[in-house]
Structure 1
Amino acid sequence: MIDRRLYLPETSWCDRPDRLTAAGVPDDVGFATKPALARQMIAAALDAGVPVGWVTGDEVYGAHPGLRADLERRRIGYVLAVGCDRRVHVNDGRTSIRVDDLADRIPTAEWQQHSCGSGAKGPRDYPWAWVTTATSAGEHRWLLIRRNRTTGELAFYLCWSPRLVPLHTLVTVAGSRWSIEELFQTGKGQVGLDHYQVRGWTGWHRFITLAMLALAVLTILAATTAQQPDPDPEIIALTVAEIRRLLNAFVLALPLPPAHTLHWSTWRRTSQARARRSHYQRRLGHLA
């Protein structure tokens, strides 16, 4: 997490100047939709020189033409989810069709199996298909479709890139959205990202910034320990949750003998390693 914006509902906040004043909201802050806030944060990151390859997001952001236009103008590729009723242009722009109707017309042989990343219970393998939706020569624009092997449920993504890319690249970007959702879950569970009780503009920004900083410290520690050579195959690497637990035990709580605390850490991570192997073996068995 590198930035944050406070969403203020229009009806219960932005139309009540007295409430905004009491909470210390600056006078120049008005109602902004979530895609508008995303556009602000993306622009701030790009203007600051943050290295960005792709942008991904759910249907709230995929349905916003201004956000997509911003990214294309900045030459930043995107893979953004859209609803099943979205219409796209095919046949060089000559035909407009709903994405769910288009999916029904894709031959079985055109679906390709790809993994969009590793999950807690095994690789995230799905059948994928893509259709060119470019309307002019040299344009790299696609509709990406994911199908659930078990339920047959479909997910749709509008994709654009300043250069030609393979299908697997788009799949990888689409799958990276899960890491964002997992990050929010980790932030809420490990550093209390959603545990604030402040009612003021300044207090909220202070709390969120400190929570983001704490999560960054834990994440860097976890990434550093994961890079250590010769890891024990019978134990998973230290996770954000485990590092927080160890810091609480060694720094904040009444200390137990270090050997006792480290023993329980090893036991937990060994059990997690066994569970992960079982999940992966069962998942891979289903795919065989």
Structure 2
Amino acid sequence: MLAVPKSQQVPRYGRIDHLFTQAPDEAWEKRSCGEGAKGPRVYHWAAVQLPVIEDFDGECPTHYRWALARRSVSRPDEIAYYLGYAPAGTGVDQLVRIAGRRWAIEECFQAAKNECGLDEYEVRRYVGWMRHVTLAMLAHAFLAVTAAQAAAKGDAETVPPWSAHRSGSPPAPGNWPRAPAPPAPLRPRHELVTLAAKASGRRQSLPLPATVPLVGGALRRHRP
């Protein structure tokens, strides 16, 4: 599936928006293209299987070309268009699902830009650009797997031990977790600071060495 502008030319039909302008009301069906941040993303969809072009597809093609349109439920004037090339036997539900994957891909690119510097490159050759993009996407894949494993581990640790009971009923009283013991009462503290113990005896004071001040703030001892 490839998103195209409304001026995209379709063989034998002209512009793709003119093609779907002629579609009857029953051609538009409400379908979900996947889960979004606020639940299922529901739109009105219309699909047209394009005629076979023998010069490109052959006499017995194994793949067929499609034209797809997505219309907003609340704003019918907002319509997006797609061109598809799918194996024979592909249904409209599969086309809609693949077209809806664009939202997840854009989220992946945005996360790679924010976390792995996907767009922070200054190269002028294709080889350097490809190496940078490959390393950035590899780092993003590593972070995604690590985050998924950490989330799965956290969910497993928060599951109570009696939730694994197969019958769905509460376990036997002997297996039920005991209630936590009440915390021990705090002892009143009358003293905030402990006083140091008194010295055992009086020590003899020692005289300080004699000094005389000198110019410049330094001190010099008297020599004996």
| TM-score of the two chains, using structure 2 as the length reference | 0.57
% identity of equivalent residues = 42
1:1-288 matches, cutoff 5 A: 79-89=1-11, 95-135=12-52, 139=61, 140-152=64-76, 153-196=78-121, 198=122, 207-225=132-150
Question: Could you tell me how far apart the structure 1 residues matched to 2:75 and 2:14 are?
Answer: 24
Separation of aligned partners in 2, 1:107 and 1:157: 19
Look up the SS of the partner of 2:87 in the other structure: coil
- Return 5+ residue gaps in structure 1 as ranges: 1-78, 90-94, 234-288
DSSP-derived class of the 1:176 partner: helix
Post-superposition Cα deviations, 1:177-210, rounded to whole Å, max 9, x if no partner, equal 11111111001111222234x5576776655444
CA offset digits 1:75-133 (Å, max 9, x no partner)? xxxx11222122324xxxxx433211121111111111111111112211100001121
Residue 185 (structure 2) aligns with: none
Q: Counterpart of 2:146 in structure 1: which amino acid? A: L
Going by fraction, where is strand more abundant, 1 or 2?
A: 2
**Is the 2:13–2:19 contact (alpha carbons within 8 Å) kept by the matching residues of 1?**
no
Q: In structure 2, give the amino acid aligned to 1:108.
A: D
Distance 1:203 1:144 in 2: 36
CA distance in 2, matches of 1:144, 1:200: 37
Q: How many residues are aligned here?
A: 149
Structure 2 residue matching 1:194: 3-state secondary structure: coil
CA distance in 1, matches of 2:27, 2:123: 53
Distance, in Å, in 1 between the alignment partners of 2:132 and 2:40 is 36
Shift of residue 232, structure 1, vs aligned partner: 6.9
Task: Tell me which protein shows more helix as a share of its residues.
Answer: 1
* Structure 2, unaligned runs of 5 or more: 54-58, 160-224
Residues in 2 aligned to 1:222 and 1:81: alpha-carbon distance in whole angstroms = 31
Alpha-carbon distance in structure 2 between the residues aligned to 1:104 and 1:165: 24
Aligned amino acid, residue 115 of structure 1: S
* Structure with more contact order per residue of length (Cα contacts < 8 Å, sep ≥ 6): 1
Cα gap change, 1:88/1:217 in structure 2, threshold over 3 Å: closer, same or farther? same
TM-score by length of 1: 0.45
Matched residues in 1 for 2:22 and 2:157: separation?
Answer: 48
Q: Distance in 2 between matches of 1:102 and 1:204?
A: 39
